[in-house]
Structure 1
Amino acid sequence: MGEGVRILSKRDLKKFRFSSHLGNLTLAIAVSSLVVIATAVFVFYRFVVPNQVQQFATDRATTIALSAQYWVVLKDSNAEELKSFESFLLLKENLLIREQTLDELEQSMDDMDSELNLQPIFKHGDFARRFEQALENNLGHEVQILQDEETRLWVQIPFEQSEPITVAFYVGSPPVQTLYWGLVFLIGGVIVVLIATVYTFRRISRPLTRVVKAAESFRGLSGFTPLPEQGAYEMVSLAKSFNKMAEEITTLIENRIAISAGLSHDLKTPLTRMRLALELLPEDIDPKFKQKFEDNIDRMTTLITDAALFAKGQTEPDQKVNPKNLISSTVRSIDENIQIEWQGKLPTSVQLAPSALDRCVTNLVQNARLHATGVRLKVRATANELYVHVVDEGPGIPPEDRQRVLQPYVRLDKSRSTKTGGSGLGLAVVVQLCLFHQWKFELHTSESGGTDAVLTIEINKILQS
């Protein structure tokens, strides 16, 4: 891939946002927030909730064991107090005690035409296992636990000196709501911090993006819109510094243009007089001497014109043109024998700078004809871009010299011959015009080993006629 002029695109701006320090900071905070939330949820469900369930099961088992033991004591001693105790357990602890085994209880319900479908526990499996273990630890022997359709647990508790009894109760929920609210507040706080960070990042990155766009669009010419000097102190200082720099560069370039225009005008005047004097020379002057003198005048005129064009460096407003007709007429004006290969469906009308495109194609074709043979063009169109390839069969440009040859007054031909070396401004003018019009220019190696000069024009708005 050859090196060339690259213009910052919207895609590059997006990459800039995500590869900046602010973007990395926001990404780090976002990842850290997700890690905090994931860790909190894992710790909560892995350690906090099981501990709360265990504590709840232990407390419930202790209450039922003590209640059952006290109920057995009251059963044989005080019937009225037993009745009051059963009412208290039903109202306050939601416990129902029966002096029956589970089988007897199911049978009695069947005799009463009331169905009690007891089955192994399934909904409260984890709690029931913890509860069963805690209850057996309190009583010192095994118990049997079943569940009915209303998700009540029925526990058969045997006693050594008494008949077994059955206790029914609703499990309820472990007291973890406060912890759930704490987890919710933690997650909410992390989300708020993340949102505030993203908002702050956008507030900071927006002015920086404006600076990037302004720097990308600034060409050192008049018409530059200064950045608004508002916002935070740092942004105001940055905008003031950028505006001052842009103003100084614009003034410097305008002075250079004025000086170059004056020099061009002053130098062309004596050249015109020399050309007039050459035409008035007597007929007996040596024709070879006269032709050589005329070639030197033409050469000086070309150098002055190219230098003035390079120094002027002004942009040109886009116009509605037919790219195929423009390129064809430009090439035909140089050499009618140059072949042009058209690829893709070229739009009949596009918005671009016609004089700039004409100058770029002219310089590339003339440069190729000056240094190589077999010059041809290949024009390829896509949905959004127009590619103009100027291909030759010459010796090519070494990769290490491709960037240097784009600079002003640089000629790879060290002989500096006017026939082979050129002025050294042809490619520099192309680069400058591409920079002004946000085109792209690159040098590659052709299939034959020569040079493939590629001019890429991004067509933002294609006007089909």
Structure 2
Amino acid sequence: MRPRFWSDTLFARIFLLVGALLLASQLAVYWYFNVYQAERRAQFPAQNWAQILTLSESLGPAARAELAPTLARQGMDWRPASAMSGSHKLPAPLQSALQILHGLGWPEAEIRLDRRHDILWLRASPTSAHAIAMPLPRPAGPSPQWFKLSAILLLSLLGTFLIVRQLTRPLSRIIAGVADARTTETLPELPVAGPADVQRLAEKLNQALRDVHQLWKEREMVLLGVSHDLRTPLTRMRMLLEFLPPNTEVREELIANLREMDEILRQFLDYARSGQEEPSQVLDLPHWLEDFIERQGPDIQLDLPDERPLQARLRPVGLARILQNLIDNARRHAAPPFLLHLRREGTELVFVLRDHGSGIPAGDLENLERPFAVAGRGGGTGLGLAIVRRLVQAQRGALHFRDAVGGGLEVEVRLPER
């Protein structure tokens, strides 16, 4: 199976796609304001520096001395060029401003940063005898633009979440309703809510579920009616056989055929019944299983946990039919010895029946529970495991098949404790 790098749910896909588009748009806005507009923002300090250099270079020493107090109030001072210190390495905004300054008529102007004394040095050219010291520009804190972009991004993602959730929540309810329809005998009514398209989908699915439920009920009635009605002539045939001479080959063969037909009808009746009509009761499982296995014969071994007592609320007749059908199916299609293992996992009871037959091809495992899937293979109608599946679902459990280590097949039945 190929690894999946994102969720397959409709909600996650729409959210991730819209979120990615919003993120890309915000990155584009960030690039515009922080890269494209950086040069325009650098023009303001470059023009100020050009005016300062023009003033500085046009004044004589006396005029500079007279203007010095006024500049000092602005934090600037004329000093000898030998007093310059710091690094020529400039951050990107100041480097852009210096390049603009070069284009404004001062191609040899230089700037130094003295971070130790928080001074920005400005000189007209490397040959100038004096330089201008001014305070190092301090960042004004986070840009308001960042707050705007962050607010837009967060509000966009929140809006995306609410919109996608509004669209996908009705679909999630429909999926949950369809899943419940597979595990319950009652007909669920899917919620008709959400956008018009989703409402029409729910209405169509409700109609389809009603049609399937009606078809299922009609099939049950046919199975029950035919199986029940056939038992009456079978009983009369069995009574007529009593008039034949005893210990004759024909009589014994007819009786065997009638028994086989009666077993087939019993399976049809079991398959038609849901198993939900039986009330549950508290069982002492180790003691109950020991009595059940004692009636099965020597080819069944029982493996019980050390935990005693182990009690659970289950349907005893339904549980007996589950285990009996599994054992009969194993005897018909596999080889002994058979091992029935019981363990508790959390809030579930796990029953595992292991045989020592030749196993089943992997491609056939998923078809074992289907009605009539193995009909004609080793005898039987192919309804045994289908009956087990219905009984397990009636008790809100799960049925699994897997190849056993060392050969054979393991059938796992998980039933919740109630």
Deviation at 1:214, TM superposition (A): 0.9
Query: Hey, what does 2:194 align to over in structure 1?
Result: 231
Which of the numbers 145, 151, 157 marks the counterpart of 2:118? 151
- Asked whether the 8 Å contact 2:90–2:113 carries over to 1, the reply is no
Identity level (%): 22
Query: Hey, what does 2:328 align to over in structure 1?
Result: 366
Rounded to whole Å, the distance in 2 between the matches of 1:344 and 1:34 is 58
Are 2:128 and 1:167 equivalent residues in the alignment? no
Instruction: Supply the AA of the counterpart residue of 2:257.
Output: N
Query: Hey, what does 2:165 align to over in structure 1?
Result: 202
Deviation at 1:130, TM superposition (A): 6.6
Which of the numbers 241, 257, 270 marks the counterpart of 1:296? 257
TM-score in terms of structure 2 length: 0.78
Instruction: Supply the AA of the counterpart residue of 1:68.
Output: S
- Asked whether the 8 Å contact 1:342–1:379 carries over to 2, the reply is yes
Alignment of 1:51-130 (within 5 A): 51=39, 54-72=42-60, 75=63, 82=66, 87=70, 89=71, 94-98=74-78, 101=80, 120=86
Deviation at 1:134, TM superposition (A): 7.1
Alignment of 1:264-279 (within 5 A): 264-279=227-242
Instruction: Supply the AA of the counterpart residue of 2:323.
Output: V
Instruction: Note the residue ranges of structure 1 that are not aligned, 5 or more in a row.
Output: 1-14, 107-117, 415-419
Query: Hey, what does 1:455 align to over in structure 2?
Result: 412
Rounded to whole Å, the distance in 2 between the matches of 1:222 and 1:440 is 15
- Asked whether the 8 Å contact 2:80–2:131 carries over to 1, the reply is yes
TM-score in terms of structure 1 length: 0.72
How many residues align structurally? Answer: 411
Rounded to whole Å, the distance in 2 between the matches of 1:143 and 1:221 is 83
Deviation at 1:349, TM superposition (A): 2.6
Instruction: Supply the AA of the counterpart residue of 1:433.
Output: L
Deviations 1:208-230 (CA, angstroms, capped at 9, x unpaired):
11111111111486533412323
- Asked whether the 8 Å contact 1:364–1:453 carries over to 2, the reply is no
Rounded to whole Å, the distance in 2 between the matches of 1:356 and 1:54 is 83
> Using CA pairs below 8 Å that are at least 6 residues apart, which structure has the higher relative contact order?
1
Rounded to whole Å, the distance in 1 between the matches of 2:125 and 2:227 is 118
Q: 1:392 to 1:228 in 2, by over 3 A?
A: closer
Task: Give the match's secondary structure for 2:233.
Answer: helix
Q: 1:53 to 1:151 in 2, by over 3 A?
A: farther
- Asked whether the 8 Å contact 2:184–2:394 carries over to 1, the reply is no
Which of the numbers 420, 424, 441 marks the counterpart of 2:382? 424
Instruction: Note the residue ranges of structure 2 that are not aligned, 5 or more in a row.
Output: none
Which of the numbers 22, 27, 35 marks the counterpart of 2:16? 27
Deviation at 1:363, TM superposition (A): 0.7
Q: 1:190 to 1:341 in 2, by over 3 A?
A: same
Rounded to whole Å, the distance in 2 between the matches of 1:239 and 1:146 is 70
Deviation at 1:309, TM superposition (A): 1.6
Rounded to whole Å, the distance in 2 between the matches of 1:346 and 1:211 is 43
- Asked whether the 8 Å contact 1:221–1:254 carries over to 2, the reply is no
Query: Hey, what does 1:10 align to over in structure 2?
Result: none
Task: Give the match's secondary structure for 2:7.
Answer: helix
Query: Hey, what does 1:310 align to over in structure 2?
Result: 271
Are 2:26 and 1:18 equivalent residues in the alignment? no
Query: Hey, what does 1:341 align to over in structure 2?
Result: 303
Deviation at 1:362, TM superposition (A): 0.6
Deviation at 1:339, TM superposition (A): 0.8
Deviation at 1:206, TM superposition (A): 1.3
Rounded to whole Å, the distance in 2 between the matches of 1:411 and 1:251 is 26
- Asked whether the 8 Å contact 1:26–1:197 carries over to 2, the reply is yes
Rounded to whole Å, the distance in 2 between the matches of 1:248 and 1:148 is 82
- Asked whether the 8 Å contact 1:37–1:190 carries over to 2, the reply is yes
Deviations 1:26-78 (CA, angstroms, capped at 9, x unpaired):
222223333444555466555644x35643442232122122134427729xx
Q: 1:175 to 1:164 in 2, by over 3 A?
A: same
- Asked whether the 8 Å contact 2:77–2:133 carries over to 1, the reply is yes
Rounded to whole Å, the distance in 1 between the matches of 2:13 and 2:139 is 43
Alignment of 1:183-202 (within 5 A): 183-202=146-165
Rounded to whole Å, the distance in 2 between the matches of 1:295 and 1:204 is 62
Rounded to whole Å, the distance in 2 between the matches of 1:212 and 1:312 is 27
Are 2:353 and 1:390 equivalent residues in the alignment? yes
Instruction: Supply the AA of the counterpart residue of 2:221.
Output: A
- Asked whether the 8 Å contact 1:331–1:365 carries over to 2, the reply is no
Rounded to whole Å, the distance in 2 between the matches of 1:144 and 1:405 is 84
Rounded to whole Å, the distance in 1 between the matches of 2:159 and 2:270 is 52
Deviations 1:183-207 (CA, angstroms, capped at 9, x unpaired):
5434433333222222222112211
Are 2:341 and 1:379 equivalent residues in the alignment? yes
Are 2:179 and 1:216 equivalent residues in the alignment? yes
